[in-house]
């Protein structure tokens, strides 16, 4: 087996691993019930990159879809600074999900000041949304 064959095999293996690896996705769904008050669901879910979450699966029964946005959380890294202010809640949800996963809990089960530092989460969220601005903890 030559060097080119080994490189091709390694690239093929890397592609298989990437397809099988779970990645966090952001799912934002806005809906209403027969023209009533708009409601929303913001979730972070783990899926393969080739298995985009279906936003319709997050709709409550008998609700009407108004709007949705689904994107991989890796999009936060390359998001234009001018667009970040529209995604602050999404980034906070991602930060909380990441902290919950690290300690083996669900976000809803986490306790402030015990499982996470809410000031740290807020400051990290603001640093991401407004790069270059200094905060108290800096």
CB atoms within 10 A of CB 60: 10
Please check whether residue 2 lies inside any domain of the structure.
Answer: no
Alpha helices in 62-117 (DSSP H): 75-78, 88-103
27: its two tokens: 């799912």
Please check whether residue 110 lies inside any domain of the structure.
Answer: yes
Q: Whole-model pTM?
A: 0.81
Please check whether residue 106 lies inside any domain of the structure.
Answer: yes
Query: Which residues lie below 8 Å from residue 94, measured CB to CB, with a gap of 6+?
Result: 24, 26, 44, 73, 76
For residues 82 and 134, give the distance between their C-alpha atoms in angstroms, rounded to a whole number. Answer: 18
Torsion sign across C-alpha atoms 42, 46, 48, 49: positive
Q: Give the residue ranges of the chain where pLDDT is below 50.
A: none
Please check whether residue 121 lies inside any domain of the structure.
Answer: yes
- Looking at the 3D structure of the chain, how many domains does it have? 1
Please check whether residue 13 lies inside any domain of the structure.
Answer: no
User: pLDDT digits over 90-108, tens only?
Assistant: 999 999 999 999 999 999 9
Q: Are 64 and 32 in contact (CB under 8 A)?
A: yes
Residue with the two structure tokens 């994107």: 71
Please check whether residue 4 lies inside any domain of the structure.
Answer: no
Farthest CA pair distance, the chain: 66
Please check whether residue 6 lies inside any domain of the structure.
Answer: no
Please check whether residue 14 lies inside any domain of the structure.
Answer: no
Output the pLDDT for position 54. Answer: 96
For residue 55, give its domain range: 24-129
């Amino acid at each position: 087996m030559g060097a080119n064959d080994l490189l091709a095999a390694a690239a093929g293996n890397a592609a298989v691993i990437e397809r099988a690896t779970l990645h966090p996705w952001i799912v934002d769904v806005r809906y209403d019930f027969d023209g009533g008050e708009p409601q929303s669901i913001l979730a972070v879910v783990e899926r393969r990159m080739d298995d985009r979450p279906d936003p319709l699966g997050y709709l409550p029964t008998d609700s009407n879809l108004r709007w949705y946005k689904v994107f991989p959380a890796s999009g936060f890294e390359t998001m234009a600074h001018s667009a970040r202010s529209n995604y602050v809640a999404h980034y906070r949800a991602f930060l909380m999900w990441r902290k919950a996963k690290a300690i083996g809990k669900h976000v809803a089960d986490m306790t402030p000041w015990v499982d996470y530092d809410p000031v740290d989460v807020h400051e990290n969220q603001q640093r991401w949304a407004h790069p270059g601005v200094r905060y108290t903890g800096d």
